[in-house]
Amino acid sequence: MEETAEELEESEETVETAAEEPEADKEEETVEIAEEKEETAVEEELTEEAVEEVEEIEEKKEVKKPKKKEIEEIVEEKIYTIPLGRAWISPRKKRAPRAIRLIKSFIQRHMKIKTEVEEMEEEEAERLVISNEVNEKIWSRGIEKPPRKIRVRAVKDKEGVITVYLAEG
């Protein structure tokens, strides 16, 4: 009988611990669920803030874009392949500058830019601007070895300014 009494006490302890465990599990689960809800709430707040920041940035870009479009109204746009073989006639240390001069003269001829004498008679001055990317392409291999030809895009805006860009492709 003594053994049975001890067995009963052990079984009662296991029943008590078993009864306590689900309550502890429930408390842990509720804590975990609460933490998950807090994390999702924080994540939602962060995503809302990020969305607001993106919208603000887009609004700023949208404000800037129309200004650029108003400034750069394209009147005429043409793509040319300009031969630069004549730059190779000059001495080695003068080829890249000559290639730039060849580009300017080619664009003046083909886009019908008025010369300085004609500009003095008429007050409206047309300008020629060579973009940085065209200049870098000419000078990419140094002063001695400019490319033999270059493909450019000439754009004339409403003020009469002609800008030469590197053609895509």
Q: Please report where in the chains the tokens 């003594």 appear, as a residue.
A: 2
Q: How far apart are CA 166 and CA 154, in angstroms?
A: 9
Sign of CA dihedral 165, 87, 141, 83: positive
Which pLDDT score, from 0 to 100, does residue 55 have? 72
Residue 124: which region, alpha, beta or left (left: phi > 0; alpha: psi -120 to 50)? beta
How far, CA to CA in Å, does 59 sit from each of 37, 52, 63, 73, 167? Answer: 33, 10, 6, 22, 30
DSSP state of 141: T
How confident is the model over 55-62, as a mean pLDDT? 66
- Greater pLDDT, 16 or 161: 161
Characterize 138-158 residue by residue with b for buried, 16 or more Cβ atoms within 10 angstroms of its Cβ, and e for exposed. beeeeeeebbeebebbbbbee
Q: How far apart are CA 14 and CA 6, in angstroms?
A: 12
- Poorest-pLDDT segment among 64-68, 122-126, 135-139: 64-68
The per-residue pLDDT for range 79-136, each reduced to its tens digit, is 999 999 999 999 999 999 999 999 999 999 998 887 666 656 665 556 899 999 999 9
Which pLDDT score, from 0 to 100, does residue 66 have? 44
